[in-house]
Structures are given as C-alpha cells and as structure tokens.
Amino acid sequence: MWSHDLSAKSKRHIFFVRQARIYILAFKGFFEDLAAVRAASLTYFTMLSLVPVFAIAFAIARNFGFEEMLHRFLTNNMSEQEALMKWVTGLVNDLLKETREGVIAGIGGVLLFWSVVQVLNNIEASFNDIWQIRKARSPMRKFSDYLAIMIIAPFAIGLSGSFLLKIQSAAGDFELLAGLVQILIKLVPYISIWLLFTLVYIVMPNTKVKFKYALIAGIFAGTIALVFQSLYQNLQIGVLRWGAIYGTFAFIPLFLIWLQITWLILLMGAEISFAYQNIENYEFEEDALKLSQYNKRILTLLITYHVIKNFEDGEQPWNSDKISHELGIPLRLVNDLVYDLVNAGILAELAADNPKDRSYQPAVDINRITVDYLYSEMERMGGDHMVVTESDSLNRVTRIHEHLMHSFRESPSNILIKDL
C-alpha cells in the first residue's frame, strides 16, 4: 500500500488509494493510541460529572430563557435514555433548587464548575494524545475556553430550537414550504451531530485543525453515532430482562454501554481528522517514530538551522506544520523534536492571534548557538542530580566524557549554526 507508486496513475486511482491509506492509518492509530482505554476513562468522568454538566447547562439556559428549548432538545435526541433523563433531570432540579436557596452556594458552584472542567480536560488530553501534542492549554486558557464552551453550548442549542420553531410556524402559513420544512426537520439530527462533532474536532485539540478535515471526520463519526443510536434503541427491547437483575436501575448498564461506544466513535473520528491532515507525511512515519538518537540529533540540527535562518533573514517564523511540510518530516516527529528544543531553551514559542497557531524563533542570541551549544543544552534537559554511588570508575568515566566533550567544542566543525 505504501510502496505503491502513484505518479503514473489516474486521478481516480490516486483518490481511492489515498482514501485507503487514510483510513488504514486512522484505524491503526485508533489501536496504537489505546482508544478503548481512553474511552473507558472518559466514560468514568462523564458519569461522575453527568449531573453537574446538566445542572450548569440548565442554569445557563434558564438565565437566557432557553430552558424549555434545551429540555426539548435533550428529550428528542436522547429518547432512548428516557429513564436516565428522568433520573438526571430530577437530580438537576433538586441541585438547582438547593443552589438558589443557598444550601450549596459558593463552594458548591465551584465544585460544579470543577466537575465539568475535568470532563473537558480529559477530552482535550485524549485529543492531544491522538495529535501527538505534548503541551496542553495553559490554566488560564483552559479556564477561558472551557467557560466559553459551557456558556455557548446551551445558548446555541436554545437558539437553534427557537429558530426551528419559527421556521415551522412560518411553514404553516405557506403550504409550499411545509414539505421542505418536514425534510429539514428530518435532517436536523444529522446536521446537528455533524456540526457538534466537527466543532469538537476543531476546538478540543490544542493545535490547529483544518475545518474541511474536521468536517469529514464529523460527518463520518456523526453518521456512525446515529446508526448506532438507532441500533441501540432496538437492542433495548431485547435486554429488558435486565430489569429482573438490576430492578429500576436497569438503565445504568445500558447507558454505560451506549456512552462507552459513543466515546469510541468520537475518538475514531479524531483519528480520521488527524490522518486526513497529515497523510502526506505519514508514509515514513512508522520509521520516523523509531528513529535512532543519531538521526534525531541530525533532524534537530536541521530544524534549528532553518528556524535560525528564517529569523536572521527576517522571514515569517515557521510553525510545526510549516516545518513538517518544508523539510518533509512527519508532523508527530516534528512536534516531539520542537517540544524538546523549547524545553532546552533553544527555541521559543511565539504568541499568535490564534493560540493554536504556535510558531518558533531562537530563544537566545543566534551568535551563541553553535552545534556544541545545541547538543549540550539538549543533553542537559532533566535533573542535574545523578543517582549513582560514588566510585573510582564513575570518576574515570566522567573524565573521559568531559575530555570528549571538550574535544568536540574545540573541533573546527563546531561552528555557529547560522553559518552551516
């Protein structure tokens, strides 16, 4: 599949081979990134924060006057979880009532917010792992981004519900529009989940995701989620006998199964969006991720050289995508190498209008950055305290190592990287 030369093939052949490569890579990443384990973790945190999430959503919707719209949206889209929704809604109403009466005001509100943040934080961590992003959002960015999500999500649901009701009302006055509106109403569940998944794939990873690839993944995963939801509704009829074992709580194991598989579908979509965006650099990725330290040092030097030259020439700083594209290095490997260069103090991240669009420039005077300086700073990352018993052999080895490092520093090849 990967050694197949496409240069002399037709556009149709290239298209189908490319699609096959993308989905093979996505499924491969799905298993390598332990998606099942992450889905289990997300299921656990979702269950813990289920009531707080709905409590905050209903509180915001109530303040904006969209509570009824939100309730109708959840009823229509979670009809297969009727027992669960009644149970959760009852708990939410009690919780909001106690909050209004001051029983859990203050500390209780903080705990509600923290519970929701934990879910969003775990979603981000899962997506960052798929995208091989080793640096999460800063605490301040997490606070602002997550708060925006909590406020906008229920508001958007209520607004869309209000808009749909107005369309239905207008259609009643115009018979010609009635048929079109009915088709639109049938498409609403699909369009809603496609857009929801697309937004998740764009917003949650701490990197820049192209809209078209997020949309493709959103349509793929969203459609599978709706098909699964339909199958799940039919399955419930066959498992009603669980009631003899679990009694009134029979809906809980069913909901856990539904939740786990839904998270698996969502994570699969994230793998697909990543594969689409990075397919060009994936051909040699498996070899790249197993690269020897010797070759990693060469690529580290290459990246540093180009970043320094761009800075010296007054060119636009490169981000990870640009480095990957220009140098032909797989993006995941670029992210790893750049992460180490930043931690070593060789490169610095530049702030941008879009925090996800991070670019890089030298962190120190380029007239100080020699080949030896680069390698020495990279090797000194981590703790300085060496846990080892003092001995004569240790002293001899240390002296030999220092002598070799001194010889390297004095070597004619140890020049400024900008002069390479």
Q: Tell me how many degrees the CA angle 419-349-146 measures, rounded to the nearest 5.
A: 165
In a domain, 5, yes or no: no
Token pair 């390297």: residue:
408
R_g (Cα) of the chain, nearest Å = 27
Same domain, 147 and 246: yes
Please state, in angstroms and rounded to a whole number, the distance separating the CA atoms of residues 70 and 86. Answer: 14
Best CA proximity match to 155, nearest among 49, 261, 59:
59
Output the domain CATH number for residue 394: 1.10.10.10
Tokens of 357: 């669009």
Low-confidence stretches of the chain (pLDDT beneath 70): 1-9, 60-109, 112, 153-181, 185, 233-251, 281-289, 352-357
Same domain, 265 and 158: yes
Angle between helices 35-64 and 107-130 (to 10 degrees): 140
Please state, in angstroms and rounded to a whole number, the distance separating the CA atoms of residues 171 and 54. Answer: 32
Same domain, 95 and 236: yes
User: CB count, 10 Å around CB of 389?
Assistant: 6
- pLDDT value of residue 94: 64
Report the side by side order of strands in the sheet with 318-319. 318-319, 359-362, 347-350
**pLDDT tens per residue across span 74-115:** 666 565 556 666 666 666 666 666 555 554 455 666 776 777
Write down which residue in 224, 256, 281 finishes a domain: 281
- pLDDT value of residue 135: 78
- pLDDT value of residue 361: 92
In a domain, 197, yes or no: yes
Model-level pTM? 0.71
Please state, in angstroms and rounded to a whole number, the distance separating the CA atoms of residues 62 and 60. Answer: 5
Same domain, 296 and 335: yes
DSSP helix/strand/coil, 75 = helix
Same domain, 236 and 327: no
Please state, in angstroms and rounded to a whole number, the distance separating the CA atoms of residues 44 and 259. Answer: 10
Same domain, 126 and 169: yes
- pLDDT value of residue 34: 86
Domain of 327, in residue numbers: 286-419
In a domain, 370, yes or no: yes
Same domain, 355 and 256: no
In a domain, 4, yes or no: no
- pLDDT value of residue 289: 64
Same domain, 127 and 185: yes
In a domain, 328, yes or no: yes
Same domain, 20 and 81: yes
- pLDDT value of residue 228: 86
Residues sharing a CB contact under 8 Å with residue 278, sequence separation 6 or more, in sequence order? 324, 330, 331, 332
Write down which residue in 281, 307, 334 finishes a domain: 281
In a domain, 17, yes or no: yes
Same domain, 415 and 305: yes
DSSP summary character for residue 315? P
Number of domains in the chain: 2
Same domain, 129 and 31: yes
In a domain, 1, yes or no: no
In a domain, 2, yes or no: no
Same domain, 327 and 203: no
